[in-house]
């Protein structure tokens, strides 16, 4: 039996008879020589066959091939520097495993609405395959970064009774006889409790925001990684973020060169991403924006346009630190240097804006309880969270990095909807 190999394995099998399964990307023929390019997920391969060199029925099958037909090619591997992967296949046999008639996504231009309706098929395109491979690399780099540094993964609930962020952006459902439950906006409150047990922890999973936003950087379901570290203050938290983001970027630059080239991403700006990142206080950022003609006033949260102005021309991300208390969540630690503000940071990536939100957490029981009451949150729901401040309270901090925004920044994608296989947006629940 001829060995069946993945395309990525072929360079190690030069001048060897092999079989390869995949899907047809393109075909062309001079009438005497045929060319077929297939994809199998690991790479792209060009097969070449001469009409006089193969059985008549093989040539007939080749001529019937259409876009996305599933095939099995047999032949010998030979080196060809011009071909994708550096090899091509001298085809001796073609078997059709699954036909494809009138594949709806053709090489012509299609509108975004059409492509999103056919997202399950659009994923097969070269650009989307490249995006998904870069996303995979980023996710694996995230896991490797924390594993190498002694963090423990803690899986936090998706159904929760506690509000982590704004009550106005919650998806809610009835939970048996216990009242309302919410799709988690964050796993942070739970990893805070876990870091008292394990020291350095993170959660990694889908999060949900019922935010009626139609911008190019918002999803209603997205993936977020949230580390939490015992005894880390706000400064240590930002140093961890610098190391983390730099590690991810370097990993993509090292291992995903072909995909970044396919995406036509200029990687030169990413080569400068290394600690230390730029830093500016929220108060100074407001002054800078006002100097640039913005009408923003102190106390307001920064919008996308503000973030773009602050990062314009920068060679690496920017930390905006110590926002007003009223603009941020109840759990953030008061800034002793300015009680109007909290010890927090947003990490802004040039060209995309916020990719991380982080803070030192309020570790004083009475101050935290006061903040919960100020925001009108149900005290009974946070009894367990307040316990962390009653039984061995400690300085701790953490952050949340949005995977899709990070993919969007690193790949230079114009819209966040391409950075996840099946995006969920305010106006999209299909496929």
Domain membership flag for residue 113? no
Has residue 50 been placed in a domain?
A: yes
- Look at residue 266 and tell me if it is in a domain: yes
Report the domain count for the chain. 2
Find, among 249, 207, 204, 199, the residue nearest to 229 by Cα. Answer: 199
Model pLDDT, residue 330: 94
Instruction: Please report, for the domain that includes residue 75, its CATH number.
Output: 2.40.50.140
**Are 179 and 94 found together in one domain?**
no
Give the per-residue pLDDT at 164: 67
Q: Tell me, what's the pLDDT at 168?
A: 77
Q: Do residue 380 and residue 317 come from a single domain?
A: yes
* Pair (166, 258) in one structural domain: yes
430 located within any domain: no
Q: Is residue 105, in this structure, part of any structural domain at all?
A: no
Q: Which domain holds residue 328?
A: 119-419
Are 88 and 136 within one domain? no
Is the CB of residue 311 less than 8 Å from the CB of residue 348?
Answer: yes
Looking at residue 228, which CATH number applies to its domain? 3.30.930.10
Residue 407 included in any domain: yes
Do both 7 and 68 map to the same domain? yes
Spatial separation of the C-alpha atoms in residues 289 and 297, rounded to whole Å? 9
Alpha-carbon distance 369 to 374, whole Å? 9
Phi and psi at 26, nearest 5°, equal -145, 160
Residues 74 and 124 in one domain: no
pLDDT of residue 214: 87
Domain assignment present for residue 238? The answer is yes
Shared domain for 9 and 79, answered yes or no, is: yes
Determine phi and psi for 265, rounding to 5 degrees: -85, 125
pLDDT (0 to 100) of residue 308: 97
Q: pLDDT tens, position by position, for the chain (431 residues)?
A: 799 999 999 999 999 999 999 999 999 999 999 999 999 999 999 999 999 999 999 999 999 999 999 999 999 999 999 988 899 999 999 999 999 999 999 988 999 999 999 999 999 999 999 999 999 999 999 999 999 999 999 999 999 987 767 777 899 999 999 999 999 999 999 999 999 999 999 999 999 999 998 889 999 999 999 999 999 999 999 999 999 999 999 999 999 999 999 999 999 999 999 999 999 999 999 999 999 999 999 999 999 999 999 999 999 999 999 999 999 999 999 999 999 999 999 999 999 999 999 999 999 999 999 999 999 888 998 999 999 999 999 999 999 999 999 999 999 999 999 999 999 999 999 99
Task: Provide the pLDDT for residue 337.
Answer: 97
Boundary of a domain, candidates 32, 67, 98: 98
pLDDT of residue 57: 98
Q: Is residue 263 located within the same domain as residue 223?
A: yes
For residues 199 and 318, membership in a common domain is answered with yes
Alpha-carbon gap, residue 202 to 338, rounded angstroms: 30
């Amino acid at each position: 039996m001829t060995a069946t190999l993945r395309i990525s394995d072929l360079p190690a099998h030069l001048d060897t008879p092999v079989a390869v399964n995949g899907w047809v990307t393109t075909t062309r023929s001079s009438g005497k020589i045929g060319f077929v390019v297939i994809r199998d997920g690991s790479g792209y391969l060009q097969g070449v066959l001469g009409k006089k060199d193969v059985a008549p029925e093989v040539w007939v099958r080749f001529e019937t091939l259409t876009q996305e037909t599933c095939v099995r090619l047999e032949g010998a591997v030979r080196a060809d520097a011009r071909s994708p992967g550096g090899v091509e296949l001298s085809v001796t046999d073609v078997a059709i495993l699954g036909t494809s008639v009138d594949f709806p996504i053709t090489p012509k231009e299609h509108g975004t609405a059409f492509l999103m309706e056919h997202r399950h098929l659009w994923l097969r395109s070269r650009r989307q395959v490249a995006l998904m491979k870069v996303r995979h690399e980023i996710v694996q780099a995230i896991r490797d970064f924390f594993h190498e540094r002694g963090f423990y993964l803690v899986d936090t609930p998706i159904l929760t009774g506690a509000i982590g962020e704004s009550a106005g952006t919650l998806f809610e459902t009835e939970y048996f006889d216990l009242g309302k439950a919410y799709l988690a906006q964050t796993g942070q409150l739970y990893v805070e409790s876990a870091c008292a047990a394990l020291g350095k922890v993170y959660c990694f999973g889908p999060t949900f925001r019922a935010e009626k936003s139609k911008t190019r950087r918002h999803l209603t379901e997205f993936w977020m990684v949230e580390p939490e570290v015992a005894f880390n203050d706000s400064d240590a938290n930002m140093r961890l973020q610098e190391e983390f983001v730099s590690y991810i970027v370097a990993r993509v630059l090292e291992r995903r060169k072909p995909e970044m080239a396919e995406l036509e991403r200029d990687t030169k700006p990413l080569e400068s991403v290394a600690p230390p990142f730029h830093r500016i206080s929220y108060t100074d950022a407001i002054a800078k924006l006002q100097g640039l003609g913005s009408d923003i006033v102190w106390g307001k949260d920064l919008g996308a346009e503000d973030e773009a102005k602050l990062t314009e021309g920068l060679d690496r991300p920017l930390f905006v630190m110590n926002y007003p208390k009223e603009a941020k969540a109840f759990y953030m630690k008061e800034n002793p240097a300015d009680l109007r503000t909290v010890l927090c940071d947003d990490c802004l990536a040039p060209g995309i804006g916020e990719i991380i939100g982080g803070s030192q957490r309020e570790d004083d029981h009475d101050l935290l309880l006061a903040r919960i009451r100020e925001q009108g949150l149900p005290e009974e729901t946070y009894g367990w969270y307040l316990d962390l401040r009653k039984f061995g309270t400690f300085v701790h901090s953490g952050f949340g990095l949005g995977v899709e925004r990070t993919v969007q920044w690193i790949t230079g994608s114009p819209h966040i909807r391409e950075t996840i296989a099946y995006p969920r947006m305010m106006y999209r629940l299909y496929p």
